[in-house]
Amino acid sequence: MASLITCPHCGVRPKEEFTIRGDAGPVRPAPEAKFAAWDAYVHQRDNVRGRMHEHWQHSGGCRRWLVVERDTFTHEVHSVVDAAEFSRARAAKPGRKAAPAKPAKAAPKPAKGRGKA
């Protein structure tokens, strides 16, 4: 069975409707920032094993950018929020990676087992 993601605009959808961009954590430096800040932004990324926030686009639906909190080890989706809302929450709390204010509930897990019901 396909993994499901709950789009805050379209509801529960299969993950194949989405395109992943990557880590939503890095904040773009100011244009006048020093080389070291830009080098870190472009080249240095954490290889997280566990929960992280990622940018995903609902390319097969509303085409909105979303921030998905997902476990990179189990692939379990914990929350989904519109990327604009995520950015506003992060801007309200400078210096912190803000969690979404009202995340959409994760899609229900499929029943385990074999055979037909």
Tell me: the pLDDT tens digits for 27-50?
889 999 999 999 999 998 888 899
Q: pLDDT tens digits for 46-105? A: 888 999 999 999 999 999 999 999 999 999 999 999 999 998 988 887 655 444 444 555
| 113 lies in some domain | no
pTM beyond 0.85: the answer is no
Would you say residue 34 lies in a domain? Answer: no
Going by pLDDT thresholds of 50, 70 and 90, the confidence category of residue 110 is: low
Within-domain flag for 89: yes
Closest CA to 53 of 39, 38, 66, 37: 66
Whether residue 116 is contained in a domain is answered as no
Residue 12, pLDDT > 90, answer yes
Any idea what the Cα angle at residue 23 is, between residues 20 and 28, rounded to 5°?
Answer: 120
For residue 44, is it within any domain? Answer: no
Is position 114 within any domain?
Answer: no
Residue 1 is predicted with a pLDDT of 44
Q: Give the DSSP H or E segment for 114.
A: none
Domain range for 95: 1-25+49-108
Q: Say which CATH number the domain at 79 has.
A: 3.30.2270.10
35 lies in some domain: no
Distance, C-alpha 108 to centroid of its chain: 18
C-beta separation of 7 from 106 below 8 A: no
Residue 32 resides in a domain: no
Q: How far is CA 98 from CA 6, 51, 78, 82, in A?
A: 20, 14, 15, 13
Is the pLDDT reported for residue 6 higher than 90?
yes
Residue 23: CB atoms within 10 Å: 13
pLDDT at 21: 92
Number of domains composing the chain: 1
Burial readout 87-115 (b: 16 or more C-beta within 10 A, e: otherwise): eebbeeeeeeebebeebbebbeeeeeeee
Tell me what pLDDT residue 93 has: 77
